[in-house]
Amino acid sequence: MPSRKPADSPPLSLARTGTSLHRQVFLVLRDRLLGGVFQPGQQLPPEPALCQQFGVSRITLRRAVSDLEREGLLERVQGRGTYVRVQPARAAGAPSEGYIEDVRHLAADTSVKVLELGDVPATARVAERLRIPMGAPVQRSVRVRERQGRPLVLLTAWVPLPLAASITRAELTRRSLNQLLAQRGVRVGRLVQEISATLADPLQAERLQVEVGSALIVVDRLVHDQAGQPVEFVCMLLSPERSRMVFDTPAELVEQVSSGRLVHVEPEAAPRRRSGSR
């Protein structure tokens, strides 16, 4: 049975600054492939048509198509053209077993590299989260968790001193920060998470092995002990091409567990012009 022909797409005007043109073409085509505009097994439109649609050269288009091939979304058949690959169904994710168990599974399923470890003065943001004076000493660690050599999560964590004073690089290589704090008597009482997004800066891109300007998921986790005191602030960066977050709440807890709420950041008011200013 022949595959459905997609509707003609209107020409696109790609931005000439910021993200590279081939990356922009990659993102648009990837969105169409994952969104079902092109069906599995269907041949991609010919190069001249795509070049005209995006307003780019063949070299730019071929770079984008090559990146999609590496992602496993396209397959080039010699002498015939480029076809959409059939994608396996994505599992919905196993039922959540809670924060502690999820951290254990992540530690067991990945290897870790400790990139930075040291004591630093708390910035305004860190001080506010940990409820300590700005400039108070905290231990800052930067780690990347990998699976089969592929970076999955970049974690930057801040822990107040002296709580983390004895945590060493060797310990962080063998155990998760959560496990090390538990060994020091910290018992988790409350967890607050904020999920947002950002674009990868050059250092983040290097550490996660993505392109500069790639979209990243940001998960800020603030861990409190059973007395309600913040003990750990962690910022996690993940590529949406490799990771996703799944929330699973049992029926008996639906009315008790927060599903999260949207918090809108108001833009700063523009300064008023003084009367008579030019």
pLDDT score of 20: 82
Domain span at 55: 21-84
pLDDT digits (tens, 9 = 90+) for 46-92: 999 999 998 999 999 999 999 899 888 899 888 888 999 876 555 55
- How far from chain centre, in Å, is Cα 112? 17
pLDDT digits (tens, 9 = 90+) for 134-193: 999 999 999 999 988 899 999 999 999 988 878 999 999 998 898 899 888 989 888 899
Query: Are 46 and 169 in a shared domain?
Result: no
Is residue 29, in this structure, part of any structural domain at all? Answer: yes
Share of the chain above pLDDT 90, in %: 42
Is residue 119, in this structure, part of any structural domain at all? Answer: yes
Please compute the mean of the pLDDT values over residues 254-259 and round it to a whole number: 62
Residues 6 or more apart from 186 whose CB is under 8 A from it?
A: 163, 225, 231, 232
Q: Which helix (H) or strand (E) holds 218?
A: strand 215-225
Report the C-alpha gap between 162 and 179 in whole angstroms: 17
Write out the two tokens for 15: 């931005």
pLDDT score of 22: 87
Query: Are 141 and 49 in a shared domain?
Result: no
Query: Are 109 and 192 in a shared domain?
Result: yes
Query: Are 54 and 190 in a shared domain?
Result: no
Report the C-alpha gap between 133 and 277 in whole angstroms: 40
Query: Are 68 and 104 in a shared domain?
Result: no
The residue assigned the tokens 């002296």 is 162
Query: Are 229 and 110 in a shared domain?
Result: yes
Write out the two tokens for 189: 């009482």
Q: Is the pLDDT of residue 224 over 80?
A: yes
pLDDT digits (tens, 9 = 90+) for 1-35: 344 444 455 566 666 556 688 888 988 898 888 87
Query: Are 77 and 135 in a shared domain?
Result: no
Q: Is the pLDDT of residue 113 over 80?
A: yes
Query: Are 184 and 211 in a shared domain?
Result: yes
DSSP state, residue 127: H
Total count of domains within the chain: 2
Report the C-alpha gap between 216 and 238 in whole angstroms: 6
Query: Are 193 and 75 in a shared domain?
Result: no
Query: Are 194 and 108 in a shared domain?
Result: yes
Is residue 208, in this structure, part of any structural domain at all? Answer: yes
